[in-house]
Structure 1
């Protein structure tokens, strides 16, 4: 199943009219939430479209949240379900207008492998009808997590356990990248597919342990309680205030009974304190109480003295830093984008200063939807303007895309906050007023809190920190999210400020190969409008780098037009980090996709016939559909189509269509190619049910591997044998006994084999051996051994001469062995033994 996320239905032109060239708000403030009747109507519309997406009656939809869109629209985050259980990271972002009509839908589809009725399982390959009845309880799952993380910890809030269906993903190469070296891969060369499903619990634990916050999200098997995945949920890093980093700044406070409170009644409503507020944690992990003062002059502008009072002038300075940062974050979002507070509907938040003792961290917590600031030890007080903007941006993410905080999506989550922090800094440095975001930020996260002047991150060249990459690679998702954010941070810098053509410059990218070598930036204001539109109205929780590029480009095209300088800048900025290919700035959008025509093929009966084409222009990656005599060939979806030709195939005509992945895709159709099959004697097929279309007989061994798998489509027909793909230590076999006549002049074994893997490098961890055995099971010959190193997109036809076994009855045996981690799938189809 191809999981490259797509945008379905272009947004109405009215959505972006008036926004493209003017600095106007993107979002409409204060919209009413949908009524139950409106929500039910939306669900009904989505349910009516299930057939268009290959879904069945057990597939459903649940609206999880809603936030404002542009004037006249609403944005709905819709979870996908199967048998009323949420399918993790399978979701839609649906834009509706005031009439309730669907304007656009951005889909992350991860459940199409469910519901095919091929047997029930708790942990099944794509295609199983999964059993949704757990064998352990949510409390048992939670207890297992707590016992491993912090058995003596204290819960800040009660833990939660939600039953889910968890798609275990794997990454495969697209057809055009099959033969690329690992180092040459571009983000667009890979796609995510479902390997298998597991019934699981999503467990959220929010604890303190040893005086420190311990916030985690875990995926736990609902069958035996083993931990499937885990990641941290801690998203880190007008009176007069004497601030530490910004001089004397105006801060809004409230006078109550002769006492000033650090509550800004003009920003935000509701929440814990009725408006934006700053509290004093006083070296604990709780929020504490709102800051108060007898006068409306706060702080001394000096770094907090460790061990001192948190309420005197020196202790108040951290609160001044926090209030100034919170006010500017609110104003930047509201005045430039129309987005109120963190959730878009003006719900108030707060910041707790002086959390823990000598604590070198600042973090956002989804428990309180608030921020905590430490006093620092290696750092100074962590309340600089960009750090506050960063943490508050985590709140915006939590209210919109909710990017999963691990892998590539986790890196994008962190990058979104770095981008937000820099834009808040730019806005604040220029007076904190106006409807546009000017320049003026330093593009270095947290430089003010560093005692040495070394920032936490360099946006323009992430590798300066010694750990963050400058560009995407296939391993970027394995990094800590604070490092995997690096490439996207650099992309955003280039989008806003442009690049440098001098190879020794910190602002140079070797991936920019078109003209001019130094790409042109579009400035902070346009860059952030594009990014914010994409992240709030198109991103889903599982968006990765490749998906981000397509959705940021779509946002630029909606705001400024297809082929606009802004859309070109997006393509060049992502190309600069090895996500997509570079284009000329003056060349406009890429032309339509083109395709070569396959050559005519002549083969002997029983031999492999192979047709190949190459695609160019358009926007990679490409998708292929092969046709035989005008009829679509199921599962033939790569640049090469191979199968074992029989005499009845003589004269068959083949062609292929190719579609690119542009926002508005283009399709090209090849010319026809004719297959000529020579007979030179009559060949007889001795292998029975070699295409697996007739069930499992007469195959023996792990016949459960035979079936229809949406994650591993057949080479021809609808069925294949999917061996492996487990990611655990296991051996699987499939064998068939055949007799080769003593009078045979030839005996040719062929089969189509597709290999994909989650392994990397040149070490053979998982393998498939092809053997000939006698009827007693003794190995007569090992014909071949294939491993994870041989992984490639599409099927390859393998051919072997078995004439040495004429006059014998033998077993043709396929045996697969995996090690204890990281799956490799060996997928067989069209097994044939032609005898003359």
Structure 2
């Protein structure tokens, strides 16, 4: 098929992707175009591994972290030049993680002509000597915006955002802030407005709706809620030990051991901090709603356990990893049946439930909601589409981690989300990690439209992955709860334990994910994390592959139900509407011809995948078409396993995967491919 070009409509606002991601632990400099040739031998037996101490993140003191941030800031201009950024582009340092071997993972935002670039964030990995090893970008698009003067008035963009907020249930569009930005998360980068509308949703949740509008056409490009609503729980954590502060004869709910975290009583207000809990006794609440301090004690305990979970599990000191505590507010509003984290106030807020009878201050609520703050201050996963599902799943994953970590007899750890809230009135949880579809709306596995679901439902894919990675498939009983987790391909998954699964997810979140990471990107990110922590030949690495395959993201570690796999995981850039690129795998030591059911597994990150034509080329030079061009296939990425009748080909020799982009506007990366002989 000849090369074509066309005018492209923007992608759906619910589907954003990372166009460059990691494959395994292969070093990658973003600007490089690699030939992709490699010889592969059958994979060695997978062994359970321990975390490689060289790749363990150091527990930095606030002053050490501040010094690394200052150093990165001082060198950001040189870093921008080394990455080949244009003269109008500048980097803004956001975060840094340091490994024991000296590797630095520095997270940057970008500006263009002084304007913030939405979808311009990236993570740069450098060795102890300062050499660049890898770059992960939220978008691979080249920033070259010809027109920086809007054609649409700023006021029109604001009005559009207000109308959209009202349609979503905002009862008070109190404030509108509008700023010029560069939108680079999907398609070709353009000048845009980002409008933020304040107010309240119809359930009383504070609303900060962000609407991105094309400044030249007025078309809405994207939207997301700046405040995340979460889950609640109507049952408490029993008698616990709290860290408080005494001044004279007065005690306050101030935790000096955890960054000065404070817990306030809003007394049914909806603004400000309220009143710091203060009394003459250091015994807080009576276990019922007749005492306002009961909710304060639960919230204080939840924040305490969440802080300790992150510190003792990952070496993270607080939500921002800077040793500073957030604060909690209880008794929000009147009969407010929800709880939420708000990054703008750096605080956690709890309602009192229906009839103000059941404050939503349970342990897993704190773990879930405060983890939104961790995500906001690391990967910044956009709260929409597949990245929004990953955002919600991250809070479910770490909220579950907090519950198990606390080891509280009144609320044992489980893989049920909001199991004690009973919002449905039938005693069922909000979400199930072992089989998400049991809630009636969540997705068990990935499919092309999963990003169009509400983020609490699209999160099911990652929640299911995490459960399988932790515990494996099939029936089992954990802490008295029965689970029976299926797999999409009908093949079993062997779990590696929750502790290792948490380490892999946290490292991927903090050093691999960006704002636009989707499920394909999450797979490559978690594989990279598993490879760094445990090795690419480990049982942990294999389990990550198998758990993702079990939810229809990528292929199994053996390419299917068995056989011998040969793999090339060297990333290969796919140019926009350019010549075909080829990645090679050399097979040796086999006899006879290839089978009639040769399995070819392909992992490609690419927006508008219909542009791609993919062929397998056998040792004889014969090409076998795997995927045709399609002008109507606007979905992202290719994560497929194809079956090829290659019985006329000799098994030994060089097998090639040939990929060509045959239309303009989108680029991508061949992350990994393999051939499997059953």
Give the TM-score taking structure 2 as reference length. 0.73
Secondary structure in 1 aligned to 2:521?
Answer: helix
Aligned equivalents of 1:236, 1:212: Cα separation in 2: 7
Aligned equivalents of 1:424, 1:141: Cα separation in 2: 41
Q: Is the alpha carbon distance of 1:22 and 1:96 closer, same or farther for their aligned partners in structure 2, counting shifts above 3 Å? A: closer
Displacement, 1:217? Answer: 1.2
1:47 pairs with one of 61, 76, 81: 81
Native 8 Å contact 1:26 1:533 kept in 2: no
Aligned equivalents of 1:279, 1:341: Cα separation in 2: 19
1:259 is aligned to: 250
2:295 is aligned to: 318
Secondary structure in 2 aligned to 1:620?
Answer: strand
Range with greater deviation from structure 2 (477-486 or 452-461):
452-461
Is residue 488 from structure 1 mapped to residue 466 from structure 2 by the alignment? no
1:66 pairs with one of 88, 95, 100: 95
Q: Is the alpha carbon distance of 1:540 and 1:100 closer, same or farther for their aligned partners in structure 2, counting shifts above 3 Å? A: same
Q: Is the alpha carbon distance of 1:343 and 1:73 closer, same or farther for their aligned partners in structure 2, counting shifts above 3 Å? A: farther
Displacement, 1:152? Answer: 7.2
Is residue 387 from structure 1 mapped to residue 361 from structure 2 by the alignment? no
Native 8 Å contact 1:280 1:289 kept in 2: yes
Aligned equivalents of 2:177, 2:279: Cα separation in 1: 39
2:122 is aligned to: 92
Native 8 Å contact 2:103 2:127 kept in 1: yes
Rg: which structure is higher? 1
Secondary structure in 2 aligned to 1:248?
Answer: coil
Displacement, 1:19? Answer: 3.7
Is residue 466 from structure 1 mapped to residue 440 from structure 2 by the alignment? yes
Secondary structure in 1 aligned to 2:22?
Answer: strand
1:398 is aligned to: 376
1:572 pairs with one of 529, 546, 561: 546
2:65 pairs with one of 18, 32, 35: 32
Native 8 Å contact 1:79 1:91 kept in 2: yes
Q: Is the alpha carbon distance of 1:673 and 1:519 closer, same or farther for their aligned partners in structure 2, counting shifts above 3 Å? A: closer
1:367 is aligned to: 344
1:20 is aligned to: 52
Aligned equivalents of 1:288, 1:548: Cα separation in 2: 40
Native 8 Å contact 2:416 2:433 kept in 1: yes
1:424 pairs with one of 402, 405, 408: 402
Aligned equivalents of 1:491, 1:617: Cα separation in 2: 23
Aligned equivalents of 2:131, 2:256: Cα separation in 1: 37
1:75 is aligned to: 105
Secondary structure in 1 aligned to 2:474?
Answer: coil
Aligned equivalents of 2:103, 2:567: Cα separation in 1: 32
Aligned equivalents of 1:265, 1:589: Cα separation in 2: 57
1:153 pairs with one of 168, 172, 178: 172
Q: Which runs of 5+ in 1 are unaligned?
A: 116-128, 170-193, 238-242, 269-274, 305-312, 433-438, 595-609, 625-634, 641-657, 659-667, 675-751, 761-791, 797-822, 826-836
Aligned equivalents of 1:146, 1:204: Cα separation in 2: 9
Secondary structure in 1 aligned to 2:291?
Answer: helix
2:158 is aligned to: 142
Q: Is the alpha carbon distance of 1:84 and 1:756 closer, same or farther for their aligned partners in structure 2, counting shifts above 3 Å? A: farther
Q: Which runs of 5+ in 2 are unaligned?
A: 6-16, 29-48, 477-481, 570-579, 586-597, 637-658, 667-678
1:756 is aligned to: 632
Q: Is the alpha carbon distance of 1:390 and 1:636 closer, same or farther for their aligned partners in structure 2, counting shifts above 3 Å? A: closer
**How does 1:499-578 map onto structure 2 within 5 Å?**
499-500=473-474, 506-513=484-491, 518-578=492-552
Aligned equivalents of 2:437, 2:195: Cα separation in 1: 34
Q: Is the alpha carbon distance of 1:671 and 1:46 closer, same or farther for their aligned partners in structure 2, counting shifts above 3 Å? A: farther
1:620 is aligned to: 602
2:286 is aligned to: 300
Q: Is the alpha carbon distance of 1:110 and 1:23 closer, same or farther for their aligned partners in structure 2, counting shifts above 3 Å? A: closer
Native 8 Å contact 2:341 2:373 kept in 1: yes
1:442 pairs with one of 414, 417, 428: 414
Q: Is the alpha carbon distance of 1:225 and 1:544 closer, same or farther for their aligned partners in structure 2, counting shifts above 3 Å? A: same
Aligned equivalents of 1:469, 1:460: Cα separation in 2: 11
Aligned equivalents of 1:390, 1:403: Cα separation in 2: 15
Native 8 Å contact 1:755 1:793 kept in 2: no
Q: Aligned Cα RMSD in Å?
A: 4.1
Native 8 Å contact 1:562 1:589 kept in 2: no
1:285 is aligned to: 270
Greater RCO, 1 or 2 (C-alpha within 8 Å, sep 6+): 2
Q: Is the alpha carbon distance of 1:497 and 1:505 closer, same or farther for their aligned partners in structure 2, counting shifts above 3 Å? A: closer
Higher strand share: 1
